Structure 1
Amino acid sequence: MQKQLVVVTGGSGFIAIHIIRQLLQQGYAVRTTVRSLAKAPVIKEMLTNGGITDLSALEIVVADLAHDEHWSEAMAGATYAIDVASPTPKLNFKNKAEMIRPAVDGVRRVLTASRDAGVKRVVLTSAYGAIFAGHKNRTTPYTEADWSDLNWKAIHPYQESKTRAELAAWDFINHEGRGLELTTVNPVAVMGPVLSAKYSHSNIQIQQFLEGQVKAVPNVDSGYVDVRDVASLHLLAMTAPQANGERFLATTGETLSMLDVANVLRQAFPAFASQLPTKTIPNAAVKLAAKARPELRMVASLVGTYAETSNHKAQTLLDWHPRPAAESIIATAQSMIDLGIVTKP
């Protein structure tokens, strides 16, 4: 019997590689797209490090979200597509269109090619950034019913790009989808094991903490979720009939400050205790610094803001039960130590 084919975009990314790993473990054939085949060796290395011994069901092809070429071939024969690839936050951008246009255009390319190839359902990796931005005086946990306010003057271009890309996806399905199904997954901050020393930037915060690069942290609260649970939620969203047309917030439902994260690491890795931050930077100081340093603007927009989230929908509709945030944070650090990304002081 032929294996069902799933196309995963952006195969070298942190979330994508864990999705590919779980798909292969569950017996799917996987075709993943990259901008350059130079990424193929690191994809194979990460999967091998993740315990995949047989890569015969994996195909790696070139398709760039910024260009129309190759997408129809990439989607040919696929039953499902999981669109994970997206422009990552640029810290120094000339204008917000640099981030927004590629995100929107990329989603439309994937959906168009999926529809034309007869794909059953696309799962889009959206973000918590498409949910929480611009809600003042919030007192109840964010849910899938919430959307970021695009009229909010202080919205960061990254959050705007994720919001506009997801809105564009739903608009496409409603007006041009011709029966193509769509589900979105909106993760909060993603932690969990990195699978290669060459590709660990997804959890740079943990690395910087362990290496003693951060003496004090901004007062930013966040939800956290393990990449392995984010991957499993994508697979549930891909196949469950009841997931069609739905958004799912990928969160444990816990909210931690950056100091809480440092304290989890301090307890789990006492050898690193002296490296870890113990102080919080006043909110006003962060906002003042961001005026001169554009790379701090996203953090400055988050200091002191409410960040409670609910995973009730994913738990009840898809029977999804993520591991605790602390376990994910510890797994991130342990993988970095095991791979030699971080060395003991």
Structure 2
Amino acid sequence: MYGKIHEIVAIFGVLVTGASGYAATHCVQQLLASGYLVRGTVRSLKNPEKVQPLRVLKFAQERLELVEADLEKADSWPKAVDSCDYVFHVASPIQLVSDGNAIKVAVDGTLNVLEACAKCHTVKKVVLTSSMAAIKYGRETTDKVLTEDDWSNVNGKGINEYQKSKTLAEKAAWDFVKSIPEGDNQFKLTCLNPGFIVGPLLTDVQGASVTLIKRVLNHEIPGLPMLYFSMIDVRDFAKANILAMENPKTDGERIILGYNEDHNLRDVADFLDKEFGPQGYNIPKRKLPYFLLWIASFFNATVKDALPMIGVKEKISNAKARDLLQIEFTHPEKSLVDMGYSLIEKGIVPKKGGYKPRTHL
């Protein structure tokens, strides 16, 4: 297979966009460990916080090249994509409460990458990170088990800008691939729809999931709203990208990634408390009543966006992932405990007097 280190080829195997991100760094790590030549994009090579964790990965010196590219700068992508066999488009706006620009950046950024791929005749396949946010929101709540055939309703009640951005960006990707002109590169597309990504960190960059778990461990939230979500271990996410890339049966498919059971924030707190409570961490356990959240929503944009999701539990099927990728998903308790130790060891969460470090995650 092209890009494997045992073959003498003068091309890069896989481009990973947004390579310094929480999930993308795991993709880079696993690609390198699997023998691929990797090129990763970052917005600035002059930012050591973003670049250094990638440079110290095993095999990075031999097989990793970092280049600058920005989702909002279309002219930065042809050079980034040049000579690559595969592209993992992982980079995306990740804020749960948008600054008003999330839809434009997500859609335009996705199209900028795909347009470059359509002009680069070495690219065989793009694996695009979408989200369960493109499947489960703005809909009437029913007992129906949601699958890859379902889409979020961007005009539906309670859907927020982040959820719209993920939905519209994925739809734009499918529409683009269907309309690639004859003569341009007709690459294959697979879209992955992960749930809430959790698990250990390879960087110190704090995204949405890191911030949430840090706040729970630090008792920085007064209580637990009944938010339900499906979770996926970040290591499973990276593995799924590689399996989707390598398996032609995934061409043209959407694939839900996540443990086959929704959990709420109380479950998250219970998992963390079981492990870290005896070590001196005061994990919040009190359920926040809806009326308090409703009042807070008038003053806090984060709460306002989350309010329509309180108490809503959807049924999601991961059958396609288990069938096509032959992957069994890690239980969220293990992912969250591993994440907790990672946050403490990196100093993102302070060590308590009773803390007992583990030798491995």
Q: Same fold (TM over 0.5)?
A: yes
Matches of 1:330 and 1:252, distance apart in 2 = 16
SS at match of 1:291: coil
State whether residues 4 and 79 of structure 1, in contact with CA within 8 Å, keep that contact through their aligned partners in structure 2: yes
TM-score (norm: length of structure 1): 0.93
Please name the residue that 2:268 is paired with: 261
SS at match of 1:122: strand
5+ residue gaps in structure 1? none
Matches of 2:281 and 2:90, distance apart in 1 = 37
1:201 Cα deviation from its structure 2 partner: 5.6
Matches of 2:338 and 2:54, distance apart in 1 = 16
1:220 aligns with 2:227: yes
Name the CA shift for 1:52/1:200 in 2 (closer, same or farther; >3 Å). farther
SS at match of 1:85: coil
State whether residues 230 and 260 of structure 2, in contact with CA within 8 Å, keep that contact through their aligned partners in structure 1: yes
Please name the residue that 2:37 is paired with: 29
**More helix as a share of residues:** 1
Matches of 2:321 and 2:205, distance apart in 1 = 33
AA aligned to 1:227 is V
5+ residue gaps in structure 2? 1-7, 353-361
Please name the residue that 2:4 is paired with: none
TM-score (norm: length of structure 2): 0.89
Match for 1:197 among 170, 182, 204? Answer: 204
Percent of residue pairs bearing the same amino acid type:
34
Q: Deviations over 1:58-115 (max 9, x none)?
A: 111111110122211111100000101111226363x4xx211111111111001011
1:252 Cα deviation from its structure 2 partner: 1.1
Please name the residue that 1:66 is paired with: 72
Matches of 2:47 and 2:16, distance apart in 1 = 14
State whether residues 222 and 308 of structure 1, in contact with CA within 8 Å, keep that contact through their aligned partners in structure 2: no
SS at match of 1:73: helix
1:144 aligns with 2:148: yes
1:180 Cα deviation from its structure 2 partner: 1.4
Question: How many residues were matched structurally?
Answer: 340
Q: Deviations over 1:129-148 (max 9, x none)?
A: 00000222221332111100
Please name the residue that 1:131 is paired with: 135
Matches of 1:201 and 1:146, distance apart in 2 = 25
Matches of 2:177 and 2:98, distance apart in 1 = 33
Matches of 1:46 and 1:182, distance apart in 2 = 26
- Across the aligned residues of Structure 1 and Structure 2, the Cα RMSD in angstroms comes to 1.9
Matches of 1:280 and 1:320, distance apart in 2 = 34
Please name the residue that 2:109 is paired with: 106
1:91 aligns with 2:94: no
AA aligned to 1:232 is K
State whether residues 185 and 248 of structure 1, in contact with CA within 8 Å, keep that contact through their aligned partners in structure 2: yes
Q: Which aligned pairs between 1:36-75 and structure 2 lie closer than 5 A?
A: 36-39=44-47, 42-45=50-53, 48=56, 52-75=58-81
AA aligned to 1:251 is G
Q: Deviations over 1:167-211 (max 9, x none)?
A: 000000011265211001111010010123355664111111111
1:4 Cα deviation from its structure 2 partner: 4.9
State whether residues 142 and 307 of structure 1, in contact with CA within 8 Å, keep that contact through their aligned partners in structure 2: yes
SS at match of 1:43: helix
SS at match of 2:148: coil
1:251 Cα deviation from its structure 2 partner: 0.3
1:160 aligns with 2:164: yes
